[in-house]
Chains A and B, each alone.
Chain A
Amino acid sequence: MHTARDTLSTRLGTHGVLILYVIIALFPVFVIVTNSFKTRRAIFREPLALPDGESFSLIGYETVLKQGDFFLYFQNSMIVTVASLFFILLFGAMAAFALAEYRFKGNTLMGLYLALGIMIPIRIGTVAILEMMVSTGLVNTLWALILVYTAQGLPLAVFILSEFMKGVSDDLKNAGRIDGLSEYKIFFRLVLPLVRPAMATVAVFNMIPIWNDLWFPLILAPAEETKTLTLGSQVFIGQFVTDWNAVLSALSLAILPVMVLYVIFSRQLIRGITSGAVK
């Protein structure tokens, strides 16, 4: 059937091109990580060689772990990301349920209002956000970041989740109502468990941009105690710019957590994108 599309040479060509692109995509990561385990001399003499018995060195990692508060930064990033995701999912699901389930005046208008933020980036409002955070004393707290990321994530979350909630069977909800469940219990006990896959998609979509953001940590929470990992490594690398061992090790340490998250969630992420959740 597919004779013309399936000849051996086209198949080999396809693999060749894809392998070439995979090399392009992974090469910089490979170079950074392998060189972080080498002595300064080996880094410059043979940048493309793998570390061996002679050139192996952990001096960069020692510098990083001694100088930078990487554990604190990691903890801050973790708190901000997890808390923001929690609020995005909880508030987003509640609003999506209200929009999908009840007919009330201004339903469509409310949906449009919440959807505005999908296209308009929140960064445009940074000047006023900073003033607000200063006047409420939230500047240099993790709450400033959590609030901003929650607001930023809500529009798309409401949009995706309400599409899914419209698909939850009415019979189920009405059966719950006949059994005397309150609207809150119907939401938390019946509907929420059913839209779990959609919630996971929303969580994965939001997780990586929040973890990697540099703009808001730089502006709203640059203090030492509230630095996120992204900002922390930026500042650290800037200070140690001539210490190549330290810079390469810091980069590798910054790559590590994202890679772990990616390996855990890649299937969810790719399924989320390819299922057309963003259309």
Chain B
Amino acid sequence: MATPTGPSKIKWHVVVFLAPAVLVYTAVMIYPLFNTLRLSFFDTVDQQRVFVGLENFRTLFGNTIWSDQFWNALGNNFWFFLVHMLVQNPIGVALAALLSSPRLRFAALYRTAIFVPTILSFVIVGFAWKLILSPIWGIAPEMLDAIGLKFLYAPWLGKEEYALTTLALVSVWQFVGIPMMLIYAALLSIPEEILEAGECDGITGMSAFWKIKLPLILPSIGIISILTFVGNFNAFDLIYAAQGALAGPDFSTDILGTFLYRTFFGFQLQLGDPHMGSAIASAMFVIILIGVCLYLFGIQRRLRHYQY
């Protein structure tokens, strides 16, 4: 831009404008991020921080006490993510498709109401569902009884085989509003002419959705998938609020976030270990980085072709 000073001089106003954001961002986000990666190569020996190379990672992946926990958490995390992809996103797309039907009355009201769970904190959501599903209170068994399905009831959050899926579904319940909104926006931006052209060729209703709209909203589905991935792989709050730091029953709901918390911050009798914690955080960093790169270089590029 046209600035009065010559090109050789430092433009001080540019520095002043950039400095606060760059300083805070670098000092509180980027530097700690790399410092955490660096700390994963250190350990405490005789109260001194010493460089140990890959020793922490050898413990994490080689020592069965650690590696069992890590693979358990990682596996649970993938299941958590899979449930979101298979349940949350299809429901979100379906709701958005219904909401975008032409001349739908009360659309704004539906949208606002369905988004309510998304704004509640994990603490509220976790405890509310814990109470509702609790066998002591009996809301869930009573309601199943009313439709004759009482035999299906089990204390889901207390059973190892159901607890993780139940929590994943609670999380789906909470966040379905986000894919719904993003897909809704994408559907609204499809030009009416395209749909009318389809109608002239006899493509209406459901087939219009599958053949015209769905291919056009694929980029939004891609964005939602990567947002879900990053969100799920650093999730922590819901599990902690509902099941505590031990992610019970018997670690069956343990995901990377709760594993990281227990390791570096400590719980009950176990002391916190910042170096092992850093090693886990580094592993999470690599996993998220792989996911983001797969999206940016694999999926997003291919999807570009569909954009109008």
Contact = CB atoms under 8 A, between A and B. Distances in A.
A151 B25 contact: yes
A258 interface: yes
Interface string A16-38: 01110110111011011000000
B21 A92 contact: yes
B202 to A, nearest CB: 9
B173 to A, nearest CB: 7
A126 B281 contact: yes
B71 to A, nearest CB: 20
Nearest to A213: B237
Contacts of B284: 124
A25 B257 contact: no
B30 interface: yes
B52 interface: no
Q: Give the interface size bracket for A toward B.
A: 35 or more
Main DSSP-derived SS at the A contact region: helix
Main DSSP-derived SS at the B contact region: helix
Q: Give the interface size bracket for B toward A.
A: 35 or more
B197 interface: no
A56 interface: no
Interface in B248-304: 257, 260-261, 264-265, 274, 277-278, 281, 284-285, 288-289, 292
Contacts of A254: 121, 123-124
Nearest to B13: A183
Contacts of A214: 121-123, 236-237, 240-241
Interface stretch (B59-67, B76-84, B158-166, B183-191): B183-191
B39 A29 contact: no
Nearest to A211: B121
Contact of A48 (B27, B142, B261): B142
B194 interface: no
A97 B14 CA distance: 9
Most buried by A among B3, B24, B95, B226: B24
B120 interface: yes
Interface string A205-238: 0001001111100110000000000100110010
7 contacts: A14-B101, A25-B114, A28-B129, A117-B25, A158-B21, A183-B3, A247-B127
Given A28-B129, A128-B39, 14 more contacts: A48-B143, A87-B20, A120-B33, A120-B285, A120-B292, A124-B36, A126-B32, A126-B260, A208-B118, A218-B240, A234-B123, A255-B120, A261-B119, A276-B189
Interface of A: 1-2, 4-6, 10-11, 14-15, 17-19, 21-22, 24-26, 28-29, 31-32, 43-44, 47-48, 87, 90-92, 94-95, 97-99, 101-104, 110, 114, 116-117, 119-132, 147-148, 150-152, 154-155, 158, 170, 174, 177, 182-184, 187, 208, 211-215, 218-219, 230, 233-234, 237, 244, 247-248, 251, 254-255, 258-259, 261-262, 266, 269-270, 273-276, 278-279
